[in-house]
Amino acid sequence: MAGLLDLLNSDLGKTLVNNASSQLGQDKVKTASALSTALPLILGAMKNNASTPQGAEGLLSALSGKHDGSLLDNLGGMLGNSDILSDGAGILGHVFGGKQQNVANAVSKKSGMDANSAMSLLQMAAPIVMAYLGKEKRSQNVNDGNGIGDLLGGLLGGGAQQEQSLITKILDADGDGSVVDDLIGMASGGKKKGGIGGLLGGLFGK
């Protein structure tokens, strides 16, 4: 199964990093680091939501309609678009249950990017994750809750359980940032080569 590693090591992934760094006024290495932390957290939160029948049904519905993957066909022209950012904010609010500031703080601490830029990056990334899921759903003909759970688990790779634990910690945190050090092991990719950690390292020789 194609994972996010394949996406982010592709031309599409380079477009994402280049455009996001330009939009945010951040260097590419910092943007790559922030994305390598943000994407598994977004995916993991979606997997958590899809663990209930109602959540899975809602996600399947979204992936069959607005988020069918067509965004990826014009990614370079869409990043930073106000509609995309608004859509991203809505997705984040839904999947993180209003705790997206904790997630932005975690991404900020891991990458060195300021929290406001980290939040904007999350808003850019969320619709892209949804579009990628929509494309994978269509190509694999996923039509039920079990299938969408398997799809999300496959994209997260072997470290899915670790990501779920970190998501729970972040969403339960009081916002003081004390849990975000736990992200370092996940995002460095040191413990599970081939998992989602360190997704973008190959792009920059890190």
Round to whole Å and give the CA distance between 84 and 165: 29
Per-residue model confidence as pLDDT tens digits over 23-80:
999 999 999 889 888 888 898 889 888 888 999 999 999 998 888 888 888 776 676 6
181: exposed, middle or buried (Cβ count in 10 Å: 0-12, 13-18, 19+): exposed
User: DSSP string of 20-89?
Assistant: HHHHHT--HHHHHHHHHHHHHHHHHHHHHHTTSHHHHHHHHHHHHTTTSSGGGGGHHHHTT-HHHHHHHH
Per-residue model confidence as pLDDT tens digits over 1-25:
456 666 667 777 788 889 899 999 9
